[in-house]
Structure 1
Amino acid sequence: KIKKGSITTKIIKEAIKKKVAEDVLSISHIEDKIARFAQSYLFAHTPHFFDVYLDNIKKVKKNEVVSAANSFFDFSRTVITILKPVLTEKEKKKKIYSKNSLKPELITLKNGLKVILKEDHSIPKTHAKLISLGGLRNETSKNNGIGHFVSELLGKETKNHTKQQLQNLFEGNGAHFQAHVGNNTFYCNLACLAEDFQTLLPIFKDAIFNTKFSESEIKELKRLTLQWISQRTDDWHSHGYYHFKKEFYQNHPYQLNILGEEKTVSKFTKKDLESYYTSLFSTNEMVLSIVGDFDKKKTISKLNALFGSLKIKKPEPKKLSRKSHTKMSNQHFDIPQNVGAIFMGFDGETFKNTKNCVKLDLLNTIVSGMAYPTGRLHQELREKGLVYMVHATNQAGCETGHFLINALTSKKNINDVLKIINRELKQVQNAPTSKKEFEQAIAQMKFYYKDRASSTESLTLMMSIDELYGRGFNYYETINKEIDNLDKKDIQITAKKYLKNAQLFTFSKKD
Structure 2
Amino acid sequence: MLNSRDITKFGLLVIIQLSWINFASHLGAGNGSVTTEEFFVKDLKVVLKANTANEIISAQLYLRGGALNLTEENQGIEEFIFNSVTLADRKYAEKSWNKILQGTGSGLGSISGKDFTVISLQCTKQYFDQMWEVFADYIMKNSFYDERTEIARARMLTQIRRQEDTPDVYIRKLAEEQFYQGHPYQLDPMGIEESISKITMKDMESYLKKNLKKTKLLLVVVGNLDKEVLRKKVSDTFGKISKGKYKPVFPDPVHHTRSNLKVVERDLPTNYILGLFSAPSPKNPDYYPMTIAIDILKWRLFEEIRTKRNLSYAPDAFLENHFANYAGIYATSVDPDTTVKVMLAEIKKLRAEKFSGKDFRNSVNMYLTRYYLNNESNVAQGQFLARFELAGLGWQEGEKVVEKLRMVTAEDVQRVANEYFKNIQFVFLGKTELIDEKVFTSM
TM category, shorter:
0.7 to 0.9
- Tell me, yes or no, if the aligned pair for 2:87 and 2:152 is still in contact at 8 Å: no
Alignment of 1:152-231 (within 5 A): 152-157=83-88, 160-231=91-162
Alignment partner, residue 295 of structure 1 = 226
Identical pairs, percent: 23
Shift of the 303–283 alpha-carbon distance from structure 1 to 2, 3 Å rule, reads closer
Matched, 1:97 2:97: no
* SS of alignment partner, residue 263 of structure 1: helix
1:484 aligns to 2:406 (yes or no): yes
Q: Deviations over 1:144-195 (max 9, x none)?
A: 2222212212333375544455444444433222111111111111111211
Structure-2 residue corresponding to 1:442? 364
**1:334 to 2:268 alignment:** no
Q: Distance in 2 between matches of 1:224 and 1:296?
A: 39
Matches of 2:49 and 2:28, distance apart in 1 = 22
SS at the partner of 2:181?
A: coil
Normalising to structure 1: TM-score of the pair?
0.75
1:497 aligns with 2:419: yes
Partner of residue 306 from structure 2, selected from 366, 382, 386: 382
Q: Which of 312, 330, 345 matches 1:423?
A: 345
* Residue type of the alignment partner of 2:320: Q
Amino acid at match of 2:381: L
Contact 2:315 2:331 in 1 (8 A): yes
Give the whole-Å Cα distance in 2 for the aligned partners of 1:194 and 1:316.
Answer: 34
Task: Give 2:328's aligned residue.
Answer: 404
Relative distance call for 1:299 and 1:158 in structure 2 (3 A) is farther
Equivalent AA in structure 1 for residue 170 of structure 2: H
SS of 1:251's equivalent? coil
Residue 78 (structure 2) pairs with residue 147 (structure 1): yes
Contact 1:183 1:254 in 2 (8 A): yes
CA contact (8 A) 2:51 2:224 kept: yes
Q: Given that residues 214 and 241 in structure 2 are in contact (C-alpha distance below 8 angstroms), is that contact kept between their aligned partners in structure 1?
A: no
Higher relative contact order (CA 8 A, sep 6+): 2
Decide whether the 8 Å contact of 1:155 with 1:211 is kept in 2: no
Partner-residue secondary structure (3-state), 2:354: coil
Q: 1:323 to 1:123 in 2, by over 3 A?
A: closer
Aligned to 2:394: 472
Q: Deviations over 1:185-236 (max 9, x none)?
A: 1111111121111232233112101122111112122222222122111111
The size of the alignment, in residue pairs, is 409
Q: CA deviation at 1:260?
A: 1.9
Partner of residue 122 from structure 1, selected from 44, 53, 77 = 53
Query: Which aligned runs of 4 or more in structure 1 are off by greater than 6 angstroms?
Result: 83-87
- Between the aligned partners of 2:424 and 2:229, the Cα distance in structure 1 is 54
- Structure 2 counterpart SS, 1:474: helix
8 Å contact from structure 1 (residues 329, 503) kept in 2: yes
Task: Please give the alpha-carbon distance, in whole angstroms, between the structure 2 residues aligned to 1:336 and 1:364.
Answer: 31
Q: 1:364 aligns with which of 294, 301, 316?
A: 294
Secondary structure of 1:266's match? helix
Structure 2 residue matching 1:389: 3-state secondary structure:
coil
Distance in structure 2 (CA, Å) of the matches to 1:147 and 1:280: 10
TM-score when normalising by structure 2: 0.86
Letter of the structure 2 residue corresponding to residue 97 of structure 1:
N
SS of residue matched to 1:177: strand
1:15-61 Cα deviation digits (max 9, x unpaired):
xxxxxxxxxxx9xxxxxxxxxxxxxxxxxxxxxxxxxxxxxxxxxxx
Encode CA deviations 1:275-317: one digit per residue, 9 max, x unaligned.
2233343141321122122333322233233333432212244
1:20 corresponding residue in structure 2: none
Letter of the structure 2 residue corresponding to residue 387 of structure 1: S
Q: Distance in 2 between matches of 1:416 and 1:255?
A: 31
Q: Deviations over 1:457-506 (max 9, x none)?
A: 11111112221212322333211110121111112111111112222222
Question: Is the 2:111–2:117 Cα contact (8 Å) retained in structure 1?
Answer: yes
CA RMSD of aligned residues (A): 2.4
> What SS class does the counterpart of residue 226 from structure 1 fall into?
helix
Structure 2 vs 1, CA of residues 125 and 85 (structure 1 numbering), >3 Å: closer, same or farther? closer
Q: 2:316 is matched with which residue?
A: 391
Verify the 8 A CA contact 1:129 1:289 in the aligned structure 2. Answer: yes
- For the pair 1:272 / 2:203, whether they are aligned, the reply is yes
Conservation of the 8 A alpha-carbon contact between 1:117 and 1:290: yes
Q: Which runs of 5+ in 2 are unaligned?
A: 3-24, 434-443
CA distance in 2 between counterparts of 1:449 and 1:154 reads 35
The answer (yes or no) to whether the contact 2:38–2:45 under 8 Å persists in 1 is yes
- C-alpha contact 1:286 1:468 (8 A) present in aligned 2: no
Pairing 1:249-288 to 2, within 5 Å after superposition: 249-288=180-219
Matched, 1:324 2:255: yes
> Does the CA contact (< 8 Å) of 1:343 and 1:506 recur in 2?
yes
- Bigger mean CA offset, 339-348 vs 436-445: 436-445
Map of 2:241 onto structure 1:
310
CA gap 1:258/1:85 in 2 versus in 1, 3 angstroms? closer
